[in-house]
Amino acid sequence: MADHTTPASDQLAAVTLKDDVSASTVKKHRFSDRVLIRSIMSRPDGGAGKENIKQTFSNLCFLILLLPQILLTTGLAGQRVRVGGWVKTGREQGKGSFAFLEVNDGSCPANLQVIVDAAVADLAQLVQTGTSVSVEGLLKNPPEGTRQRVELQVEKVIDVGTVDPAKYPIPKTKLSLEFLRDRIHFRPRTNKISAVARIRNALAFANHTFFQEHGFLYVHTPIVTTNDCEGAGEMFQVTTLINEAERVSDKAELTPGIPQKDGKIDYGKDFFGRQAFLTVSGQLQVETYACAVGNVYTFGPTFRAENSHTCRHLAEFWMVEPEIAFADLKDDMNCAEAYVKFMCHWLLEKCLDDMEFMAKNYDKTCIDRLRMVASTPFERISYTEAVELLLVAEGTKFEKAVEWGIDLASEHERYLTEVKFQKPVIVYNYPKGIKAFYMRVNDDLNTVAAMDVLVPKIGELIGGSQREERIDIIKDRILEMGLPLDPYEWYLDLRRFGTVKYCGFSLGLILFATGIDKIRDVIPFPRYPGRADL
């Protein structure tokens, strides 16, 4: 079996999709008999080969240098490939003698045009939207003047997964995102949601790549936590007591089954021996690693039990939280800015076709915005400066009155980024009273070393701070906020024993990129009040 053995890891690294698209032949996928449509359509020549040759001849100086490349870029016509995917749209032609199918396999937004003769298969079945096909044939150059640059002439139909168009829940007509949310298991078959899936995948991997390149360790912080940091009211409880009760009571009266003690639920009998919740943030836990192995980050799901129905809130969402050891607020801002720019560059480089789809369908400015953020140095102003600018903002009337000490509202943030500076803005040194206890108190004693990264259209993208490393001051801050010290003793220990200067920030995986308004449409399986499909 040829596939049975494996090349050494340096060779493995070379087996990338990138290599496929520049090679003279299109490579089959390593773990399937098919080729990914992306390895045909995402070639610089779109599979046709013509354009590269034209380009080359237009500049004779390079002819000799580029000769090997010319030989390699004669296009894919004549190559035998097998592809698998779903029919986006199909139509019979020539009085039913053949059919055109637009086939998409999810590897890129582009469809491959596939031509099937009536002699080869039952065309009426193949042309239905949603039909899956696995077909083999020859790639060929289409007639001059047609839109596509390469097409597949099918010689053999390997597999067909049929669709009854009368019953298919995702018809070919344009479907609203609301409609799709009710058919969650089918929505990745649409152009929109599959583009979002590729963008989200790119952002997730870019995120890991950025931190790994800079020597941050990925730490899996816990999902189930007994550390109620932000008030139990907004947390989901995790329990086996109710299940147990329902089992014991054998479907009769339930409540006697829930163990009680002194009139309260006896959590000593719950799975973890105490009350447990879903995490709202891995920050405090990942800090135990920052204070031991230096630069770290966590990336995982976090939860909010807020009964919120806005476009910007979900009950379950993925959050990125890095911590930088032996670093201060300036370092934190540098890291946050470099991170955001890296993510933008990555999308422009790896997902331009998907971004172009988004620009066409949802938000004309989304690519320009990525380019601007990627290339423009962020403005950095203190909170006090920001308030001064807002107080003299000409031609703008804010709903929420501006005065030193308020939490900036979305309208204020958008004024700064969209009107005043027209670029991303980092606001730092916020009033102590509106920020969390773990943020480092500045020498003025009124502000803390916190910073928010604000971007046009979205507002706050990132929030971060230098952490308070001084044991006495952080204890005072906890008590000042009316919180008990006891649950934080482990966190205080990090300051008691070998404390260090460090900082961090957090952000959700972003709405910012796609131009889609509702966060429910940028996560595969959205959870919000009343909804947790699948």
Please report, as residue ranges, which positions from 351 to 380 form the binding site for a second copy (by CB under 8 A).
Answer: 374, 377-378, 380
Which residue in 46, 142, 294, 431 binds a second copy (CB under 8 A)?
A: 294
Residue 251 CB neighbours (<10 A): 7
Q: Which positions from 30 through 59 interact with a second copy, judged by CB under 8 A?
A: 30-34, 36, 38
Q: Which of 64, 166, 445, 534 touches a second copy (CB under 8 A)?
A: 534
- Complex with a second copy: residue 104 or 113, whichever CB lies closer: 104
Q: Which is nearer to a second copy, 4 or 397 (CB)?
A: 4
Q: Which of 327, 367, 408, 478 binds a second copy (CB under 8 A)?
A: 327
Any idea which residue has 């009536």 for tokens?
118
**Rounded Cα–Cα distance for residues 237 and 193 (Å):** 31
Beta strands 98-104 and 112-117 are antiparallel
| Nearest distance in Å: CB 409, a second copy | 27
Residues 6+ apart with CB under 8 A from 300: 220, 221, 223, 282, 318, 319
What whole-number distance in Å separates Cα of residue 114 and Cα of residue 298?
A: 44
Residue count at the site for a second copy (CB under 8 A)?
Answer: 154
Decide: is 188 part of the binding site for a second copy (CB under 8 A).
yes
Are the CB atoms for 210 and 341 separated by under 8 Å?
Answer: no
What tokens does 283 get?
């920050």
Neighbours of 265 (CB within 10 A): 14
Q: How far is the CB of 370 from a second copy (least distance, A)?
A: 12
Judged by beta carbon, residue 141 or residue 429, the one nearer a second copy is 429
Q: Contact 20/34 with Cβ under 8 angstroms? A: no
Contact 259, 299 (CB under 8 A): no
- Closer of 187 and 432 to a second copy (Cβ): 187
255 binds a second copy (CB under 8 A): yes
Q: Give the binding range for a second copy (CB under 8 A) out of 61-69, 147-155, 271-279, 394-402.
A: 271-279
Using rule CB under 8 A, residue 173 touches a second copy: no
Beta bridge partners of 296: 217, 323
166: contact with a second copy by CB under 8 A: no
Helix (H) or strand (E) holding 364, with range, is none
Contact flag: residue 523 with a second copy (CB under 8 A)? yes
| Window contacting a second copy (CB under 8 A); options: 68-76, 194-202, 361-369, 435-443 | 194-202
Residue 141 or 299 having the CB closest to a second copy = 299
Return the range that interacts with a second copy (CB under 8 A); candidates 26-34, 110-118, 144-152, 352-360: 26-34
Integer Cα distance of 97 and 111 in angstroms: 22
In the complex, what is the shortest distance from the CB of residue 404 to a second copy, in angstroms, rounded to a whole number? 26
Residue partners of 94: CB distance under 8 A and separation at least 6: none
Q: What angle do CA 13, 15, 20 make, to 5 degrees?
A: 140
| Structural contact between residues 276 and 239, judged by C-beta atoms closer than 8 angstroms | yes
Q: Does residue number 4 form part of the binding site for a second copy (CB under 8 A)?
A: yes
Task: Point out which span in 338-346, 355-363, 440-448, 458-466 binds a second copy (CB under 8 A).
Answer: 338-346
N residues, the chain: 534
Among 29, 50, 140, 313, binds a second copy (CB under 8 A): 29
Which residue in the set 147, 167, 309, 397 belongs to the binding site for a second copy (CB under 8 A)?
167
Q: Using CB under 8 A, which of the segments 71-79, 113-121, 196-204, 358-366 binds a second copy?
A: 196-204
Q: Which of 43, 149, 192, 200 binds a second copy (CB under 8 A)?
A: 200
Work out whether 92 is an interface residue with a second copy (CB under 8 A).
Answer: no
Candidates 204, 372, 436, 473: give the one binding a second copy (CB under 8 A).
204
421 near a second copy (CB under 8 A):
no
Among 95, 147, 264, 309, binds a second copy (CB under 8 A): 264
Q: Give residues 212-251 in contact with a second copy (rule: CB under 8 A).
A: 212-215, 217-227, 232-233, 235-240, 242-243, 246-247, 251
Strand 379-382 relative to strand 425-431, pairing: parallel
Give the residue, chosen from 55, 89, 125, 132, that forms a contact with a second copy under the rule CB under 8 A: 132
Classified as helix, coil or strand, 129 is coil
Instruction: Give 226's contacts (C-beta < 8 A, 6+ positions apart).
Output: 272, 274, 275, 276, 277
Residue 161 in tokens = 């997964």
Identity of the residue, 54 or 80, whose beta carbon is nearer to a second copy in the bound complex: 80
Give the separation between CA 396 and CA 239, rounded to whole angstroms: 50
E strand map for 25-97: 80-93
Nearest CB to a second copy, comparing residues 336 and 366: 336
Give the integer Cα–Cα distance in Å for 532 and 534: 6
Report the C-alpha gap between 134 and 138 in whole angstroms.
14
Binder to a second copy among 55, 334, 382, 446 (CB under 8 A)? Answer: 334
Residue in 52, 131, 141, 281 binding a second copy, rule: CB under 8 A: 131
Asked if 502 contacts 291 with a C-beta cutoff of 8 angstroms, the reply is: yes
Name which of 7 and 433 has its Cβ closer to a second copy: 7
Distance of CA 514 to the CA centre of its chain: 10
Cα–Cα distance measured from residue 200 to residue 186, given in angstroms and rounded to the nearest whole number: 18
